[in-house]
Amino acid sequence: MTDTTRKAARPDVPAAPLAPGRTEPAARRTRRRARVTPWLFLAVPLALLLTFTYAPIANMVAYSFTDWDGVSPELNWTGAENYTELLTRSELFEVFLVSGYYLVASVVQIVLALYFATVLSFDARFRNFFKGVLFFPYLINGVAIGFVFLYFFQDGGTLDSVLRLLGVESDHAWLGTPFSANTSLAGVSVWRYLGLNFVLFLGAIQSIPGELYEAAEIDGASRWQQFRYIIAPGIRPVLSLSVILSVSGSLSVFEIPYIMTGGATGTETFVIQTVKLAFQFNKTGLASAAAVVLLLIVLAVTWVQRRIVPDEKVDLV
């Protein structure tokens, strides 16, 4: 990802001709034009980048120190008040506990994905079928998934019917208590996102040269040893990427709980709360502070991951 290192590693491209006009004893006119041309290409992309990514961040940080309601022309500087409110009003901070469910779920998800990727990379039978089936949920529209699983967990819905078929009579309201509801929603999230992790792992495993396994087999290595000493090191970069995606994903869960429960019965997540603060209760200042906190956490997590695993190796294509 680091642009400059990649460039240096590319042997086949001579560096000099990249800049037309620099090496040639060219007229000043071409040199000036060569200096302007890249900016003509970059004008629109940069304008969009600044307008929709950097300006919002700057504004958000500014709003977070005010009591603005998002509509009125009036806004007062309140210092760090929003941040103290966030940290001291426990119900505003409790939403982070909900992320815990999704964090646990993503551990389950990664382990399952790793298992299926390993199994399917060894056993080729019906591989494409199972690969397709496991990956497909990742492509489905979030609202559709929400409805599929609302019906799944409904009283007398899919889950209850299957359980009855297996001889378990259940009148448990799956989305009725905070624990059960959050577990169910986290389960849906595993169902939805497992496929991406799985395909990433499978790709990484399959890019390991086959001779390595053969050599290991000749040396008498067991399947577990092959996994431990060949596969595990081979997928380390992808694994660390999955972990980071999971952590930031768990912190910014929105769609599934919003669509399925609207944040009721203790399933409100940080993003749902922020959206409600900003657009229902018109507390733009407070919501901005919340968003800044989330942004900082996500950036911190990413930074830690980058420190642990340098990212040049994450290159599957």
Distance CA 143, CA 256 (A): 8
**Does 205 participate in binding other proteins (rule CB under 8 A)?**
no
**Does 35 participate in binding other proteins (rule CB under 8 A)?**
yes
Using alpha carbons, list the distances in angstroms from residue 167 to 90, 98, 184, 246.
43, 32, 21, 36
Which of residues 57 and 264 has its CB atom nearest to other proteins in the complex? 57
Q: Give the CB-side neighbour count of residue 55, counting CA atoms within 13 A.
A: 7
Distance CA 208, CA 214 (A): 12
200-229 b/e with 16+ CB inside 10 Å = b?
bbbebbeeeeeeebeebeeeebeeeebbee
* Residues within window 262-301 making contact with other proteins, judged by CB under 8 A: 271, 274-275, 278-279, 284, 287-288, 291, 294-295, 298-299
Which of residues 76 and 128 has its CB atom nearest to other proteins in the complex? 128
**Window contacting other proteins (CB under 8 A); options: 42-50, 81-89, 94-102, 169-177:** 42-50
* Residues within window 159-188 making contact with other proteins, judged by CB under 8 A: 160-162, 164-165
Distance CA 157, CA 170 (A): 11
Name the nearest CA neighbour of 226 among 238, 234, 216: 216
Q: Name residue 77's beta-bridge partners.
A: 66
Which one among 1, 80, 111, 168 touches other proteins, defined by CB under 8 A? 1
**Does 51 participate in binding other proteins (rule CB under 8 A)?**
yes
- Give yes or no for a contact between 78 and 65, defined as CB atoms under 8 angstroms apart: yes
Q: How far is the CB of 300 from other proteins (least distance, A)?
A: 11
- Give yes or no for a contact between 62 and 70, defined as CB atoms under 8 angstroms apart: no
Q: How far is the CB of 228 from other proteins (least distance, A)?
A: 17
Q: How far is the CB of 229 from other proteins (least distance, A)?
A: 20
**Window contacting other proteins (CB under 8 A); options: 6-14, 75-83, 91-99, 175-183:** 6-14
- DSSP H or E stretch at residue 263: none
* Residues within window 128-147 making contact with other proteins, judged by CB under 8 A: 128-144, 147
**Does 309 participate in binding other proteins (rule CB under 8 A)?**
no
**Does 148 participate in binding other proteins (rule CB under 8 A)?**
yes
Q: How far is the CB of 127 from other proteins (least distance, A)?
A: 10
**Window contacting other proteins (CB under 8 A); options: 91-99, 103-111, 178-186, 250-258:** 250-258
Torsional class of 293: left (φ above 0), alpha (ψ -120 to 50), beta (otherwise)? alpha
Q: How far is the CB of 79 from other proteins (least distance, A)?
A: 19
Which one among 26, 32, 59, 76 touches other proteins, defined by CB under 8 A? 59
Which of residues 94 and 315 has its CB atom nearest to other proteins in the complex? 315
Q: How far is the CB of 119 from other proteins (least distance, A)?
A: 5
Q: How far is the CB of 31 from other proteins (least distance, A)?
A: 11
* Residues within window 84-103 making contact with other proteins, judged by CB under 8 A: none
Using alpha carbons, list the distances in angstroms from residue 14 to 22, 35, 258, 284.
14, 20, 53, 52
Distance CA 314, CA 80 (A): 40
Instruction: Using CB under 8 A, count the residues that bind other proteins.
Output: 107
Which one among 41, 79, 210, 211 touches other proteins, defined by CB under 8 A? 41
Q: Give the CB-side neighbour count of residue 147, counting CA atoms within 13 A.
A: 4
Distance CA 185, CA 261 (A): 9
